[in-house]
């Protein structure tokens, strides 16, 4: 579509397998608009040059003084919502999309809105509208609207409180109204646009299922800094958004990989999930072992010599966290278990005395602790280990806590030969995170990337990543910097904080990371998630699960020392299975599994793709 005059896009609609674009010259006195059509949404042909909106008195509405057009349909009648010159929401109807009759202007509504197409609730039409929140209104005659007192969603979270939303489209499915909206906000002075979807209950459109809420796309700066959204349509299994630029161009952007939107979100079989072992918990506290009589949980895992080895956190009569050991042939049933700790506090930063303990013959012993609180946290020790094999050594990173200072990350290592023979000859541990900072959840990638070690860690609330030339440089005087970041996601189940749980597993699709997270709705509940990182650039998230892969639901995940905790520290691939090891309610060691190929396939199909900022959209309309 070409035009010799500067043009402005007013809105877009999708009817009868065609996409209609409403366009007019930029002059504010313009009365007529032009209607273009396209079968696929990117190449448009002129349909009519004589589009118009008239009042009930027959007076032409000056198109150039209106904005935020949103077209829909009820039965055989086309509907158009738009903001008038006075900034009020108006409704018009048409039989042919060209000639429109204005029905009414709503004096009490001054935000963009859209009547939900071909849908009624209790014999009433439904209007979604808003700027700083999304609201719903109901009407039997399209003229008098009753607005619900409570908004469906509000931009009052830490990450979106300065934003403005604009309804883009509503698509009705078997169970939901998919309310797509654009969100504009400023982040450190940089404009950021995103496309999001809220799942509203079809049987009660005032209800919003926050657990299903999704961020589909995001653009930080770039071309979006000077663009305004025109609208959104659905083309087969993808979405197409339309944008107006300051350069008087209309741009289109296709959003792929959203097949899961058209499925039933509550159908759990559609999403990647882990299946709990029926014999859970696989490890319990041992009353006769003084060092693990109260709790065993949060196990690291590594595969070596055709065995699965666990190094787990244990708490006993001293109330200090120490590390125990167990091994298995199949990864599910553990028939060998240490009767003494394999690693215990020895350094001051762990609450130890820098002397080998007398209860077992170890060259070095260490520990840590963290923010568990209560009786455990006050006594320090070593907490939440992660274990990575690189070459002929195994590296152990854990949280070191002396009982009063900020929990910090520490690292030690052992030869693969000593580990396999259960000779616990650990190197002397060193702190690797800086003082005065709470740093947790550290683990190494099992391979170097471009000659550098890759170390994940967590400073609230995000995952941080460092590239390190030589691990010996982390000598107790040089600290992690946090060079890259994988963030929590607002309005998702992982909105409050995230951390790498298990050491990443290399797959043909990328590095599979099982991670831990909590959301803002209830920060007591820990859940497991999954993401795929690029094999050559692990700072780049390829896919990330939209819903948790495991949530605390059983008695051993809720009835132990801490309610609502499923917290992973280890995972392996074994005999075609993904096996994840996690702590249940801070008292038990548990396991869950899934066929690896099926898990990756579902993660790719339903996971949130990387929110890829584009230098330019896919197509241009001049």
The DSSP secondary structure of 37-102, one letter per residue, reads: EESSSSS-EEEEEEEEEE-TTSPBP-GGG-EEEEEEEETTEEEEEEE-TTS-EEEEEESSSSEEEE
Instruction: Provide the 8-state DSSP code for 222.
Output: G
Instruction: Provide the 8-state DSSP code for 267.
Output: -
Contact 337, 355 (CB under 8 A): no
Beta bridge partners of 80: 71, 92
Length of the chain equals 622
Contact 458, 440 (CB under 8 A): yes
Domains in the chain, please, with CATH?
Answer: 7-272+612-621 (2.115.10.20), 275-606 (2.115.10.20)
Euclidean distance between CA atoms 80 and 311, whole angstroms = 63
382: exposed, middle or buried (Cβ count in 10 Å: 0-12, 13-18, 19+): buried
Number of alpha helices (DSSP H) and beta strands (DSSP E) in the chain:
4, 45
Contact 295, 319 (CB under 8 A): no
Euclidean distance between CA atoms 94 and 82, whole angstroms = 14
> Which ranges of 93-236 does DSSP label H, i.e. alpha helix?
none
Tell me, what's the pLDDT at 366?
A: 27
CA distance readout (Å), 341 to 303, 324, 336, 366, 445? 20, 5, 14, 10, 26
Count of C-beta atoms within a 10 Å radius of residue 56: 9
Over its C-alpha atoms, the chain yields an Rg (Å, rounded) of 29
Count of C-beta atoms within a 10 Å radius of residue 512: 22
The answer for 175, left when phi > 0, alpha when psi is -120 to 50, beta otherwise, is alpha
Count of C-beta atoms within a 10 Å radius of residue 30: 16
- ∠ CA 348-353-354, nearest 5°, is 80
- For 391, the 3-state DSSP assignment is coil
- Both tokens of 592, joined, read 């869950």
| Of the candidates 405, 314, 433, the residue with the CA atom closest to the CA atom of residue 367 | 314
> Which ranges of 440-584 does DSSP label H, i.e. alpha helix?
555-558
Euclidean distance between CA atoms 184 and 191, whole angstroms = 7
Give residue for tokens 């029926």.
278
Tell me, what's the pLDDT at 508?
A: 95
- For 410, the 3-state DSSP assignment is strand
Element (H, E) at 602: helix 596-606
Euclidean distance between CA atoms 217 and 169, whole angstroms = 15
Work out the mean pLDDT of the chain and round it to a whole number.
87
The list of the chain residues with pLDDT below 50 reads: 1-3, 158, 265, 354-378, 611-622
CA distance readout (Å), 323 to 273, 343, 469, 580, 586? 29, 5, 29, 18, 14
| Phi and psi torsions of 507, nearest 5° | -130, 165
pTM reported for the whole predicted model: 0.69
Contact 588, 560 (CB under 8 A): yes
- Both tokens of 259, joined, read 């097949």
Count of C-beta atoms within a 10 Å radius of residue 338: 20
Euclidean distance between CA atoms 343 and 311, whole angstroms = 9
Give residue for tokens 């008098």.
144
Pairing of strands 453-459, 440-444: antiparallel
| Of the candidates 327, 297, 290, 335, the residue with the CA atom closest to the CA atom of residue 314 | 297
């Amino acid at each position: 579509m070409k035009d010799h005059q500067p043009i402005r896009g007013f809105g877009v609609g999708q009817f009868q397998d065609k996409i209609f674009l409403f366009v007019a010259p930029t002059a504010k006195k313009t009365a007529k608009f032009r209607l273009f059509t396209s079968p696929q949404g990117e190449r448009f042909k002129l349909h009519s040059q004589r589009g118009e909106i008239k009042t009930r008195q027959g007076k032409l509405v000056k198109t150039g003084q209106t904005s935020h057009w949103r077209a829909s349909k009820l039965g055989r009648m086309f509907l158009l919502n738009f903001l008038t010159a006075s900034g009020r929401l108006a409704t018009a109807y048409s039989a042919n999309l060209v000639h429109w009759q204005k029905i009414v202007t709503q004096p009490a509504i001054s935000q963009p809105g859209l009547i939900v197409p071909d849908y009624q609730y209790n014999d009433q039409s439904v209007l979604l509208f808003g700027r700083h929140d999304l609201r719903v209104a109901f009407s039997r005659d399209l003229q008098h609207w009753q607005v619900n007192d409570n908004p469906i969603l509000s931009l009052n979270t830490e990450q979106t409180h300065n934003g403005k939303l604009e309804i883009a489209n509503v698509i009705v499915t078997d169970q939901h109204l998919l309310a797509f909206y654009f969100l504009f906000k400023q982040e450190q002075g940089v404009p950021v646009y995103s496309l999001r979807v809220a799942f509203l209950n079809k049987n009660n459109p005032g209800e919003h299922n926050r657990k299903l809420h999704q961020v589909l796309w995001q653009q930080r700066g770039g071309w979006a800094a000077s663009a305004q959204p025109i609208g959104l349509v659905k083309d087969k299994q993808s979405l197409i958004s339309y944008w107006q630029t300051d350069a008087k161009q209309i741009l289109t952007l296709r959003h792929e990989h959203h097949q899961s939107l058209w499925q039933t979100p509550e159908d759990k079989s559609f999403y990647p999930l882990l299946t709990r072992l029926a014999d859970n918990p696989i490890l319990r506290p041992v009353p006769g072992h003084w060092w693990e009589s109260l709790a065993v949980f949060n196990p690291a895992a590594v595969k070596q010599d055709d065995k699965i080895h666990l190094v787990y956190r244990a708490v006993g009569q001293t109330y200090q966290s120490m590390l125990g050991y167990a091994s298995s042939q199949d990864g599910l049933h553990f028939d060998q278990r240490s009767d003494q700790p394999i690693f215990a506090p020895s350094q001051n930063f762990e609450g130890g005395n820098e002397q080998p303990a007398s209860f077992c013959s170890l060259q070095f012993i260490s520990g840590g602790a963290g923010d568990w609180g209560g009786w455990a946290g006050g006594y320090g020790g070593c907490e939440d280990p992660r274990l990575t094999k690189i070459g002929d050594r195994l590296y152990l990173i854990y949280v070191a806590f002396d009982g009063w200072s900020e929990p910090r990350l520490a690292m030690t290592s052992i030869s693969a030969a000593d580990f396999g023979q259960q000779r616990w000859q650990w190197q002397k541990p060193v702190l690797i995170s800086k003082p005065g900072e709470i740093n947790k959840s550290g683990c190494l990638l099992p391979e170097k990337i471009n000659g550098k070690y890759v170390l994940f860690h967590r400073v609230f609330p995000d995952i941080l990543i460092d590239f390190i030339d030589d691990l010996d440089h982390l000598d107790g005087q040089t600290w992690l910097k946090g060079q890259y970041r994988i963030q929590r996601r607002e309005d998702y189940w992982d909105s409050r904080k995230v951390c790498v749980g298990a050491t990443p597993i290399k797959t043909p699709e990328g590095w599979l990371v099982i991670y831990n997270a909590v959301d803002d709705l209830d920060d007591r509940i820990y859940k497991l998630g999954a993401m795929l990182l690029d094999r050559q650039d692990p700072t780049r998230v390829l896919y990330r699960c939209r819903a948790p892969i495991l949530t605390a639901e059983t008695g051993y995940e809720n009835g132990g020392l801490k309610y609502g905790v499923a917290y992973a520290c280890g995972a392996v691939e074994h005999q075609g299975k993904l096996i994840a090891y996690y702590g249940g309610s801070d008292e038990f060691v548990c396991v869950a599994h899934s066929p690896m190929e099926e898990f990756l396939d579902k993660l790719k199909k339903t996971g949130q793709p990387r929110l890829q900022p584009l230098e330019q959209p896919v197509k241009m309309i001049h």
